[in-house]
Structure 1
Amino acid sequence: MASTERRPLLGDNVSSRYSALDDGDDSASDTSTLTETIYPPPLNDFSTIDTCWILAGLWSAVFLGALDGSTVVATLLSPIGSDYERLNQSSYIGTSYLLSVCCFTPLYGRLSDILGRKGAMLLALSLFGSGTLFCAFAPSMEALIMARAVAGMGGGGVMTVSSIVVTDLIPLKQRGLYQGMANILFGLGAGIGGPLGGWINDSLGWRAAFLLQAPVLLFSFVIVSLKVNIKLPSEIQNQSLRDKFRRVDFLGSLTLVCTVGCLLLGFSLKTTEQMPWSHPWIWGLFVASAISGILFVVVEKYISPYPVMPLRLITQRTPLAVSMSNFFGSMAAFSTVLVPLNEIAQYFTAVRLYSAAESGFHLLPHSIAISTGSVFAGWMMRRTGKLYTLTLYSGFMCILASIMIIFWKESTSPIHLWIDIVPQGFGMASLITTTLIAMIAGVVKEDMAVATGITYLFRTTGQVLGVSTSGAILQAVLLQKLRLRIEGPVCEFRPHFTEIIFRHSTKIISTLDPINKAAAISSYADALRIVFICQAVWNFLAFLWCIPIQENTLP
C-alpha cells in the first residue's frame, strides 16, 4: 500500500513558485535566485578529510557506547557482585544505566540547538567519560550504581548528537547509507563486548574494563573539540550564554524524566525483584509516572516557550508513526536477540541445552544480518530516493521471523535454528534506518534535532520495556509451569527444588534426573513460546504504525 500523501518537504509556497516558473511568470524567471531560496547555501562546508575526521571522532564514541552499554558490563555483573559481596544488587548496574539513557536521551535534541553540536557532544562525552572512569575507582556497589547512572546521562547523548551531526554533514539521500555504516560499528561493539569483557576480567580484573575505555574517549573528545565546528543559524549563534540557557526547558525536562523514569523503574523492579503488581512500590511508581506525564503535557502545551518535545511535532502524522513503530519494534528486537540475556539465548541454553559458546554461534548470523540490513537500506534509499515500500518490507520481515520462531519445537531442523532469526535482524536494522530518514525528511530543518531526539527516546524506552516485560512474562509462566510439573505431595523437597531451577542458572538443568530434566525443559519451552508470541504481536504493531509514514522526497 503506497502512501497517498506526497507533501513537499519545503512547503506549498515552493510548489506554487515552481508552478509560476512553469507557466512563464516573469516574476519567477530568475531560476538561480529561486534555487538559492529553496536550497539555500549550506552554513557548513567541510573538506573530505575533515569530514572523515569528524566521522571517526563521532563513530568511535558510538562504538564505545555500544560496547559499554550493551555487553561488556553485562559480562562483568557476576564478578563485580562477588567482589563487593552484593551479588543480589548487580542487576541494578545495568538498570541504572538504561534508565538514565532513556530519561536523558530526548534532552540532547534541544541542547544541540542551544549549546551547538560541539557543546552538546562534549557535554555527553564528559558525562559518559567521567561516569565510566569513576566506575573503575568506585569504593562500593552503591557508588558504582550511581556512576553508571552518570555514564548513562551521557551515553544516550552520544548516540543522539552523533546522528544529528551526521545529518548536518551528509545529504539526506545518502544519509541512510552513512547510518548503515554507523550501525555496523554499533553492532560490532555490541557483538565483541561480551567476549572482550570476559577476557579483560580474567586477565586484568573488572576495573580495567572501564579504564581501558579512556583512550578512545580521549580521542573522541579531542576530535570533537577540534573538528566539529557546525555553524548554527545566526539568530542562535549570536545569542549570549544566558539567553541560550533561558531556552532550556527545565520544567519540561524534569517532568519528562519523572514520567519515563518512574515507568521504567516500576517495570524493572517487577522483573529484578519479582515484586507482585499489587506491591505499593510498583503501583506507586506507575501512578507517579501518570501524574508526571499529565504535568509534562501541560508544561509543553501551555507554559514552556521552547518545549523539549513540541506536541505540535509529535502529533504530526509521520513523526508519530515513526516514533510508535520504533517503540514496538525495539520492544520486540531487544527482548528477542539484542541483549546478552535475550530469550533466544535462553531457548538455546535451557531447551536445547547448548553451551554458552554454541548459543553465541547461533546468534552470529543475526549479527551479520543487522549490519547487512542497515547498509542495504541506506544503499536502496540512495539509489532510489524512496523509503516507504522498503519500510513496509522491513516490518514484514520482522513479523515473518517472529512467526517462524514461535513454531520451534523438539523436532525442528537445526538449519531453522540458524536462519529463522536472520529476517528479524535484517528487517529491524533496515526499519530503524528508513524510519530515521523518514523522520528527518518529514520535519522542517529547525525541528530536525528535536525530532531525532524523540526518535531515540521512543527507541530506548521500547528497549527497556521490551526486556522488562518479556522477563516478567517469562518468570510468571515459567514458575507456574515448574510448580505444575515438578511440585506434588509425594515429595516434600520439591517446592524448594522448583525455586532452585527457577532462580539459578539454566546450567543446572543438565544435571537433573531424566524426569525432572524433561519437566524443566518443557516448562522453559512453554514459557518462551508465550514470550515469542508477545514479540510477534509487538512486531505486528510496529508494522501497522509503518503504514501511515509519508513518502517525502529525499533531495
Structure 2
Amino acid sequence: MSSRSRTPSERSPLLTSAAALQSYDAPESDSPPIPQSPDEFTPRDKTSKADLAWVLAGLWSAVFLGALDGTIVATLLAPIGSYFHESNRSSYIGTSYLLSVCCFTPLYGRLSDILGRKGAMLLALSLFGFGTLLCGLAPSMDALIAARAIAGMGGGGVMTVSSVAVTDLIPLRQRGLYQGMTNILFGLGAGLGGPLGGWLNDSFGWRSAFLLQMPILLFSFILVTAKVNIKLPAEIESQPIRAKLQRIDGFGSLTLVLTVGSLLLGLSLKSTEELPWSHPVIWGLLASSAVWCALFVMVESRWAMYPVMPLRLVKQRTPLAVSLSNFFGSVAAFSMLYNVPLYFSAVRMNSSTGAGLHLLPHSVAISTGSVFAGWVMRRTGRLYTLTLVSCAMTVVAASMVAAWDDDTAAWHLWLDIVPQGLGMASVITTTLIAMIASVVKEDLAVATGITYLFRTTGQVLGVSLSGALLQAVLTSKLRERITGPDAFKIIESIRHSTNVIPELSPELQRAAVHSYADALRVVFICQAVCNFLCLLCCLPIQENPLPGSHEEQEAHYRKRQNSQSSCASDETLA
C-alpha cells in the first residue's frame, strides 16, 4: 500500500486519531483479517443511547407502518371494489402503489444527501401520510388509485432513508443485527396487516383502515422531527435551500421514473388485463421504456452534475453483483410468496386459511434468518461465506418445492419452504452490508437507494411475470384436458377463481387440479433458476472489513476514498 493512502484527505474529520487509522489499515484482499474491535456498540459522540432509542423508534415505526399498510390494503381490495361497484379494477389499487414505490425509491438516496436524513424522511412521511389520508376520503375508485400512487411516492422513501440513517448511526459490524431487527418489525407489520384490515373493515368500514394509520404516522413524524439530527458534510450544510435543490438531478430522475414506470406498467397490464404481447399498449410501453432508459444513461453519464444513480457505482464489481443478486433473489422470493398459497388452494384444495397457514413457518424463518445473519457478521466480521451458503439454501428450497407431487409427505409441505425464508432474509441483509462496505462515504445513501430499486423492481416483476407464466401454462393445459361445447366458459371460470374447483364434477376437478399442478411446477422451476442466478451473482462480491466502531468506520471510509483517488490519479497519468 502506498504511503499516500494513509494520508487523511482534506475532508477527513480532525478529531479522528492517527492511531485509529493505522490500527485499521487492513490489506485489501478478498479475505481480510477480522478487525480487532469491541463488540459492544458505542454511540456517536453526540448521540446518547436514549436518543438513539428514540431515533430508531421514529424510523422503525414508519417501517412497521409501511409493511402494515401493504397487507391491510391487500385484504381490503375486495370490499373496496364492491363498495365502488368496480371490482374489476380493484387490482389497480395495489399496482399503482407498487409502481410508484419502484419509481421513486432510488430518488431518496440522493435526496437524503441534499435535504439531509431528516428532511428526506419527513418528505417521505408527508407524501405517504397525505396519500393515505386521501385514500380514506376518496370519493371514487379513480381518486383512490391516484391517492395510492401518491402514498407510494412516500412509501418508496421510508425504507431507503431509514436504512441510510441507521447506517449513519451504527458501525457496519453491528449493522446487520440492526437490519435484522428492522426486518422483524417489517414482518410483524406485514403479518398483522391482514387480520387487522379485515377486522377494521367488518367493524368500522374500509375507510377506517386508512384513517386509523394517521396516529402512527404522526408519532413517527414528531420523533423524526425532534430526534433525527444527523449532520451532512459542512459544504452541504452551509448551502442555502435553493442551492441544495439545484443539486437535484431533475432530468435524470424523470427519465428513471419513466423507464421503470413504463416497464412495470407494461408487464402489469400484460398480467392483469391478459393482453397479448402484440397489443399496441404492451409493446408501446416496453419500447418507450427502452427509449427512456437510453436517455437516462446519457443524462447520468454525460450531463448530470449530481446523478441520481451514478453509473460508475453500477459498474463497480461489488455494487453490480449486489444489485443483480437482489433483483433475482427478490423475483424468486415474491413469486414463491404469492404462488405457494395458490398451490395449496388449487392443487391441495385447502381453505384460504389453511393455505395461508403454510406460510407461517416461512414468516418465522424470514425474521430468524435476518437476525442470525446479523449476529454472525457481528461475531466474525465476515459475510462472504454466509452469503453463498444462504443463496445455496434458497436454491435447495426452490428445488424441493418444485418436486412436490401427490406423494409428497405432509411435513415436506410445511418445511420445504423454510430454507427459502432463512436464506433470502440472510442474503438481503448481508448484501446490503456488502454494498455499504464497498463504497465511499459520499456514495453511501445513493448506493442504498440503488439496492432498494433493484429489490423492489424484482418484487413487482416476480409477481407479474410469475402470474403471466402461470396463466399461459394453465390455459394451455386446461385446453388440452377440457373440451366440449362449454369448455371455454369452464376454463375461464377455473382460471379466474380456484373456489369453483370443488364444485366441479370429478373429471373436471381432476383436470383443473392437474393443470394447476403442471403450471405451478413450471413457475417453481423458474424460481429455482432465479435463485441459482442470485447465487452466481453473489460470487463476485468482495469481502471488505466490517468496522466495529465509528472510529474504525471513519478510517475505513477514508482509506477507500484515498484508494479511489489514487487509482484515478494513476489512470490520469497513464
TM-score, normalised to structure 1, is 0.92
Deviation at 1:194, TM superposition (A): 1.2
Report what 2:501 is aligned to: 509
* C-alpha distance in 2 between matches for 1:161 and 1:479: 43
**Closer/same/farther in 2, CA of residues 158 and 37 from structure 1, 3 Å limit:** farther
Q: Deviations over 1:125-159 (max 9, x none)?
A: 00000000110000000000000000000001000
Matched, 1:546 2:542: no
* C-alpha distance in 2 between matches for 1:481 and 1:177: 47
Match of 1:525 among 508, 517, 520: 517
Deviation at 1:263, TM superposition (A): 0.3
Report what 1:350 is aligned to: 346
SS in 2 for 1:456: helix
SS in 2 for 1:487: coil
Q: Deviations over 1:366-386 (max 9, x none)?
A: 000000000000000000000
Report what 1:25 is aligned to: none
Q: Is the 8 A contact 2:124 2:158 kept in 1?
A: yes
Q: Report the identity percentage.
A: 69
Report what 1:472 is aligned to: 468
* C-alpha distance in 2 between matches for 1:247 and 1:42: 31
**Closer/same/farther in 2, CA of residues 37 and 428 from structure 1, 3 Å limit:** same
Report what 1:162 is aligned to: 162
Q: Is the 8 A contact 1:44 1:231 kept in 2?
A: no
One-letter code aligned to 2:490? F
Report what 1:127 is aligned to: 127
SS in 1 for 2:544: coil
Deviation at 1:500, TM superposition (A): 1.2
Q: Is the 8 A contact 2:167 2:175 kept in 1?
A: yes
Matched, 1:141 2:137: no
Q: Is the 8 A contact 1:175 1:378 kept in 2?
A: yes
Matched, 1:33 2:26: no
- Structure 2 matches for 1:455-494, cutoff 5 A? 455-488=451-484, 492-494=485-487
Report what 1:288 is aligned to: 288
Deviation at 1:36, TM superposition (A): 6.1
One-letter code aligned to 1:123? L
Report what 1:28 is aligned to: none
* C-alpha distance in 1 between matches for 2:263 and 2:208: 33
Deviation at 1:32, TM superposition (A): 4.0
Deviation at 1:494, TM superposition (A): 2.1
Matched, 1:76 2:76: yes
* C-alpha distance in 1 between matches for 2:526 and 2:313: 30
Q: Is the 8 A contact 1:14 1:38 kept in 2?
A: no
Deviation at 1:68, TM superposition (A): 0.9
One-letter code aligned to 1:520? A
* The 10-residue stretch of structure 1 (414-423 or 192-201) with the greater mean CA deviation from structure 2: 192-201
Q: Is the 8 A contact 1:487 1:498 kept in 2?
A: no
Report what 2:560 is aligned to: none
- Structure 2 matches for 1:229-244, cutoff 5 A? 229-244=229-244
Report what 1:391 is aligned to: 387
* C-alpha distance in 1 between matches for 2:65 and 2:143: 22
Deviation at 1:45, TM superposition (A): 2.3
**Closer/same/farther in 2, CA of residues 12 and 485 from structure 1, 3 Å limit:** farther
Matched, 1:63 2:68: no
* C-alpha distance in 1 between matches for 2:111 and 2:540: 29
* C-alpha distance in 2 between matches for 1:44 and 1:420: 47
Q: Is the 8 A contact 1:43 1:231 kept in 2?
A: no
Matched, 1:434 2:435: no
One-letter code aligned to 2:532? F
Q: Is the 8 A contact 2:43 2:170 kept in 1?
A: no
* C-alpha distance in 1 between matches for 2:180 and 2:211: 29
Report what 1:535 is aligned to: 527
One-letter code aligned to 2:110? R
* C-alpha distance in 2 between matches for 1:274 and 1:472: 8
Q: Deviations over 1:84-103 (max 9, x none)?
A: 01111100000000000000
Deviation at 1:38, TM superposition (A): 8.9
Q: Is the 8 A contact 2:43 2:49 kept in 1?
A: no
Report what 1:370 is aligned to: 366
* C-alpha distance in 2 between matches for 1:44 and 1:533: 51
Q: Deviations over 1:59-91 (max 9, x none)?
A: 01001101112x111110011011001111100
Structure 1: stretches of 5+ with no match in the other structure: 1-10, 19-30
Relative contact order higher in (CA < 8 Å, ≥ 6 apart): 2
Q: Is the 8 A contact 2:43 2:169 kept in 1?
A: no
Q: Is the 8 A contact 2:366 2:424 kept in 1?
A: yes
One-letter code aligned to 2:546? L
* C-alpha distance in 2 between matches for 1:296 and 1:12: 38
Q: Deviations over 1:184-205 (max 9, x none)?
A: 0111111121111111111111
Matched, 1:497 2:482: no
Q: Is the 8 A contact 2:55 2:228 kept in 1?
A: yes
Report what 2:53 is aligned to: 52
Q: Is the 8 A contact 2:197 2:209 kept in 1?
A: yes
Q: Is the 8 A contact 1:365 1:419 kept in 2?
A: yes
Match of 1:454 among 447, 450, 453: 450
**Closer/same/farther in 2, CA of residues 50 and 183 from structure 1, 3 Å limit:** same
TM-score, normalised to structure 2, is 0.89
Deviation at 1:482, TM superposition (A): 1.0
Q: Is the 8 A contact 1:44 1:230 kept in 2?
A: no
* C-alpha distance in 1 between matches for 2:357 and 2:3: 55
**Closer/same/farther in 2, CA of residues 415 and 237 from structure 1, 3 Å limit:** same
Report what 2:29 is aligned to: none
* C-alpha distance in 2 between matches for 1:213 and 1:36: 47
Match of 1:420 among 404, 416, 428: 416
Report what 2:273 is aligned to: 273
SS in 1 for 2:239: coil
One-letter code aligned to 1:358? G
Q: Deviations over 1:256-307 (max 9, x none)?
A: 0000000000000000000000000000001100000000000001000100
Deviation at 1:308, TM superposition (A): 0.3
Q: Is the 8 A contact 2:248 2:306 kept in 1?
A: yes
Q: Deviations over 1:194-246 (max 9, x none)?
A: 11111111111111100110110000000000000111110111011111011
